[in-house]
Amino acid sequence: MNYKFGFEKLQVWQDARQLVKKIYKLTAKYPSSEKFGLTNQMRRCSVSISSNIAEGTGRKNAKDQAHFYSMGYSSCLELMSQTILSLDLEFISKDEEADIREHIQLVSNKMNALRKARLKR
């Protein structure tokens, strides 16, 4: 059995990982002219969420951990904004926007709870 790092055991990280997969699949359908625009931004943003969770778990004190969870939460909001813009530009459907919104809300709520829990330490 392979060793699992602490972040891999967190449900929020697993949810964020699924969000990355959704974003990559969704943006694969974007126009090629957006390769260095929204496609790149949304992919980087989604990866940033899971990366900040992982980095936060590696920090020794609660304040540092909370900082990275806060950064991940901010990336969730950034990704939501980009998703709304994608809808406005008709790159995605209302159903796709609703699905991504629901997943972002799930991850952002868990990240916020994780941040608050660390600050109470």
Higher pLDDT, 121 or 74: 74
What's the whole-number average pLDDT of the chain? 95
Q: Is residue 38 part of a domain?
A: yes
The span from the CA of 16 to the CA of 75, in Å, is 11
Q: Which domain holds residue 80?
A: 8-119
Residue 119 banded pLDDT, cuts 50, 70, 90: confident
pLDDT above 90: percentage of residues in the chain: 90
Q: How many domains does the chain have?
A: 1
Q: Is residue 3 part of a domain?
A: no
Q: Is residue 101 part of a domain?
A: yes
DSSP code per residue over the chain:
-----HHHH-HHHHHHHHHHHHHHHHHTTS-GGGTTTHHHHHHHHHHHHHHHHHHHHT-SSHHHHHHHHHHHHHHHHHHHHHHHHHHHTTSS-HHHHHHHHHHHHHHHHHHHHHHHHHHT-
Whole-prediction pTM:
0.93
The span from the CA of 2 to the CA of 22, in Å, is 26
Q: Is residue 100 part of a domain?
A: yes
Residue 30 pLDDT greater than 90, yes or no: yes
Residue 101 banded pLDDT, cuts 50, 70, 90: very high
Q: Is residue 89 part of a domain?
A: yes
